[in-house]
Amino acid sequence: MAENGTLECITEHERILQEIESTDTACVGPTLRSIYDDQPNAHKRFMEKLDARIRNHDREIEKMCNFHHQGFVDAITELLKVRADAEKLMGQVTDTNRRLQDAGREVTTQTEEVIRCRIQQRNMTTTVEKLQLCIPVLEMYSKLKEQLESKRYYAALKTMEQLEKVYIPRVSQYRFCQIMAENLPRLREEIKEISMSDLKDFLESIRKHSDKVGETAMRQAQQHRTFHSAVAKQASMGHYTKPVYSLNGRTHTHNGLMMDDDMGEEEEADEEILTAHDLVDFSPVYRCLHIYTVLGDRETFENYYRKQRKKQARLVLQPQANMHETVEGYRRYFNQIVGFFVVEDHILHATRGLVTRAFTDELWNMALSKIIAVLRTHSSYCNDPDLVLELKNLIVIFADTLQDYGFLVNRLFDLLFEVRDQYNETLLKKWALVFREIFELDNYSPIPVETEEEYKVVVSRFPFHDAEVEKQDFPKKLPMSQSVPQIYTQVKEFIYASLKFSESLHRSSTEIDDMLRKSTNLLLTRTLSGCLQNLIKKPHIGLTELVQIIINTTHLEQACRYLEEFITNITNVSPETVHTTRLYGLSTFKDARHAAEGEIYTKLNQKIDEFIQLADYEWGMAESEGRASGYLMDLINFLRSTFQVFTHLPGKVAQTACMSACKHLSTSLMQMLLDTDLKQISMGAIQQFNLDVIQCELFASSEPVPGFQGDTLQLAFIDLRQLLDLFMVWDWSTYLADYGQPTSKYLRVNPATALALLEKVYRGMKDTSKKNNIFSQFRKNDRDKQKLIETVVRQLRSLVNGMSS
């Protein structure tokens, strides 16, 4: 086994030696390390093996050197022989070279000169070529500077674009080109800032010029409205007409008609047609738009422009606080708004996409809502109908102007209906003052007419027709007072004033007719009716005035059909048309007349009360004075004279007033007898009171107002008459026996009334018996009468209690 191990070790060492001989030196390390990793003392055996191999190689080298030594010696010998010839050749070559150098030195000098010239020529050619490349760049840059100085920014941007894309890339290696390239972005920013500054100046300029632009546009629109009827007439005659007005270079024609060139030139000579471009320089916005488009930042510009215009729109839409005071305030407000949207319309059509139709429509809708709110607020402060009418005309021109530019204005015409209501309210307030003044200045007496000319003047102002009055000779009197024709004339003036608002509203005749009738109804039913009611309630209006007011309202009521005809003639709408509104004047004047009649009844009763308050009865008198009381005779005389005035009133009114007065007088006299403050009444006072009632009955039977049948008026005093007869005749047995029967003589005497008066008479008799104690027989008669009264009182009380139970 030891021998086998030794043999393996020798074989391994042989392999390692072969590997060392065949591999690179750098890779020997791992091989040698493997020697030390093997068996102990293996390296010693390897070293021995290595020494043996080295000795073997040395022997081989020695053999090889010995084999080639003779050849080496022969070669050295040959070299030594050649050395002499080589040194000789070297000398010849050196001499030849010296002579060649001497000969070629001049040629070399000339050659170097030629080379230097060639290099200079080449450099010059290169320089010319480079300069030819640089000169256009410099020229373009110089051109750029000139364009910037002359504020031709759009052209400057185009030049920059050429420099960047065409010229600078050709000579980009030069520093000046690099400097140019670095300056171009800065120049672009400067152009953007300058153009933006110009845009801001433009926005400020159009804000200032919007008023003028709007004024021009609205004036031309007003001219269009003024000449529209003439244009239509010429069209119907087959003539042609020129465009009425033109804004922003767009011509507005109507009905497709054009006038001859000669006529057009003649009208243009009268007034030059201005456009928005004539009043405002739009070049800054065009220039800025082009600049931002070239710079690729158009969206930023569009957003900025629209944002600023929205801000300006809000400023334009903000009215002045005192705008409602004058029409000029409204005109300036409308001019600014029209100018704003005329400019926007021009921008919309002159640029591509800077503003869109959707943007202008959105702006207009926002503005329209604000305008309507402003006009509602400010028009409500206006109390002058002339100012409201001028405002309406401005709104119509404003709407027509913007409608020609494609803006929807239906809401403005709807607003005009609200303004119309405001206008009618101001008219009603104005005419209320007119009516009050007419009523205050009226003398409430029939109109005296001295001559036929005066009669015709009155009839021309008021439709009065009365055959009986016309038959009378002059001088004569018309039944109504002077306020009637004045009221009638003012109602017609109101209709004219109301009609003015309906002009240019693009409404049909039927709608205008309906408007006029409704506003006239308001005048009659509210304003005139209110003035009449207030007039009737005034304290200084007496019975005579009230009678005249009734007569006046009767004639005004009859004139209502003429007012309807008046409106029909204005609007040419037949009153038989379906849905035609009728005038409510009949009910108005009937109500006023009824109020006047009621006031007549009230004042008449108040006058009767004043006379009654003058009554001064001596309720304890022993005997009557033998004649009626003075206050009552004065009252009857007053009633007679008053009812004579009532002859001009309709029969029923006078009869009702007379009956009302008699009933009130009867009631007042009855209340006087039954007054709780009156404790006792003598029979003498009853007799005196009976005389006064007899005078009242005589007055009633004298027929102070014609038309009463039989003793109808006397029945007003029947309660008093039966009560007094009962006491005067002292017929208590009959009263008590027949009480409750329809044929009773004292049917109108109430037991409670008879009881109250009888108790007062009883107390009066007791007081009288205390004073009269001279004759005992008289005292005995009084005692018998008192007993009778006590019996009657008990029976009356039983009747009263029976009625209450």
* pLDDT at residue 434 in the model: 92
**pLDDT surpassing 50 at residue 620:** yes
- Report the C-alpha gap between 438 and 756 in whole angstroms: 54
- pLDDT per position as a tens digit, 587-612: 777 888 788 888 888 888 888 888 88
Q: Between these two residues, 483 and 206, which has the higher pLDDT value?
A: 483
* pLDDT at residue 244 in the model: 36
Lowest model confidence (mean pLDDT) among 324-333, 559-568, 705-714: 705-714
* pLDDT at residue 26 in the model: 63
In the structure, how many helices (H) and strands (E) does the chain have? 28, 4
* pLDDT at residue 273 in the model: 55
Structure tokens given for 46? 């390897």
**pLDDT surpassing 50 at residue 262:** no
pTM of full prediction above 0.85? no
3-state helix, strand, coil in the chain (%, to 5): 80, 0, 20
Residue 248 banded pLDDT, cuts 50, 70, 90: very low
- pLDDT per position as a tens digit, 448-485: 888 888 888 888 888 887 777 777 788 888 888 888 89
The answer to whether the beta carbons of residues 317 and 364 sit under 8 Å apart is no
- Report the C-alpha gap between 107 and 116 in whole angstroms: 14
Residue 667 banded pLDDT, cuts 50, 70, 90: very high
255: region left, alpha or beta (phi > 0 left; psi from -120 to 50 alpha) = left
Structure tokens given for 803? 């009625």
Residue 246 banded pLDDT, cuts 50, 70, 90: very low
* pLDDT at residue 567 in the model: 83
Structure tokens given for 366? 């926002």
The answer to whether the beta carbons of residues 224 and 200 sit under 8 Å apart is no
- Report the C-alpha gap between 553 and 549 in whole angstroms: 6
Of 257-266, 642-651, 684-693, which has the strongest mean pLDDT?
684-693
Give the three-state DSSP class for 252: strand
From residue 277, alpha-carbon distances to 42, 206, 344, 349, 506 in Å are 115, 11, 12, 12, 31
Q: Half-sphere exposure of 458 toward its Cβ, with a 13 Å CA cutoff?
A: 22
**pLDDT surpassing 60 at residue 703:** yes
* pLDDT at residue 117 in the model: 93
**pLDDT surpassing 80 at residue 241:** no
476: β partners = 449
The answer to whether the beta carbons of residues 589 and 651 sit under 8 Å apart is no
Structure tokens given for 308? 């600023």
- In b/e form, how buried is each residue of 47-75, taking b as 16+ CB within 10 angstroms? eebbeebeeeeeeeeeeeeeeeeeeeeee
Structure tokens given for 726? 């009962």
- In b/e form, how buried is each residue of 257-281, taking b as 16+ CB within 10 angstroms? bebeeeeeeebeeeeebbbbeebbe
* pLDDT at residue 120 in the model: 92
Q: Helix 683-701 and helix 651-673: axis angle, to 10°?
A: 180
* Helical (H) or strand (E) element with 245: strand 245-247
- Report the C-alpha gap between 42 and 735 in whole angstroms: 183
**pLDDT surpassing 80 at residue 786:** no
Structure tokens given for 239? 């003539």
**pLDDT surpassing 90 at residue 349:** no
Give the three-state DSSP class for 597: helix
Mean pLDDT of 736-754: 86
- Report the C-alpha gap between 708 and 652 in whole angstroms: 10
Q: Please state, for a pLDDT cut of 90, what percent of the chain lies above it.
A: 4
Among residues 119, 136, 210, which one has the least CA distance to residue 180?
136
Among residues 612, 607, 716, which one has the least CA distance to residue 660?
716
* Helical (H) or strand (E) element with 476: strand 476-478
* pLDDT at residue 242 in the model: 35
First to last CA, the chain: 168
422: region left, alpha or beta (phi > 0 left; psi from -120 to 50 alpha) = alpha
* pLDDT at residue 776 in the model: 44
**pLDDT surpassing 70 at residue 524:** yes
* pLDDT at residue 223 in the model: 80
Q: What is the Rg, in whole angstroms, of the alpha carbon atoms belonging to the chain? A: 66
* pLDDT at residue 737 in the model: 86
Residue 240 banded pLDDT, cuts 50, 70, 90: very low
Mean pLDDT of 644-666: 80
Q: Which residue has the tokens 């065409």?
A: 166
Residue 39 banded pLDDT, cuts 50, 70, 90: low
- Report the C-alpha gap between 409 and 400 in whole angstroms: 8
Q: For residue 668, how many other CB atoms are within 10 A of its CB? A: 17
**pLDDT surpassing 60 at residue 270:** no
Q: What is the DSSP letter of 250?
A: E
The answer to whether the beta carbons of residues 594 and 533 sit under 8 Å apart is no
- Report the C-alpha gap between 639 and 603 in whole angstroms: 12
The answer to whether the beta carbons of residues 213 and 339 sit under 8 Å apart is yes
The burial of 547, by beta-carbon neighbours within 10 Å (0-12 exposed, 13-18 middle, 19 or more buried), is given as: buried
> Is the sign of the CA dihedral 15, 20, 26, 32 positive or negative?
positive
Q: For residue 129, how many other CB atoms are within 10 A of its CB? A: 10
Residue 40 banded pLDDT, cuts 50, 70, 90: low
Q: Please state, for a pLDDT cut of 70, what percent of the chain lies above it.
A: 85
* pLDDT at residue 770 in the model: 63
- pLDDT per position as a tens digit, 294-312: 878 888 888 888 888 888 8
Among residues 720, 718, 727, which one has the least CA distance to residue 755?
727
**pLDDT surpassing 50 at residue 164:** yes
Give the three-state DSSP class for 639: helix
**pLDDT surpassing 90 at residue 678:** no
3-state secondary structure 648-697: HCCHHHHHHHHHHHHHHHHHHHHHHHCCCCCCCCCHHHHHHHHHHHHHHH
Residues 6+ apart with CB under 8 A from 589: 553, 554, 556, 557, 560
- Report the C-alpha gap between 314 and 305 in whole angstroms: 14
Q: Are strands 476-478 and 245-247 parallel, antiparallel or unpaired?
A: unpaired
Q: For residue 200, how many other CB atoms are within 10 A of its CB? A: 14
* pLDDT at residue 255 in the model: 36
Give the three-state DSSP class for 322: coil
- pLDDT per position as a tens digit, 74-109: 888 888 888 888 888 888 899 898 888 888 888 888
* pLDDT at residue 714 in the model: 84
Average pLDDT, the chain: 80
Residues 6+ apart with CB under 8 A from 88: none
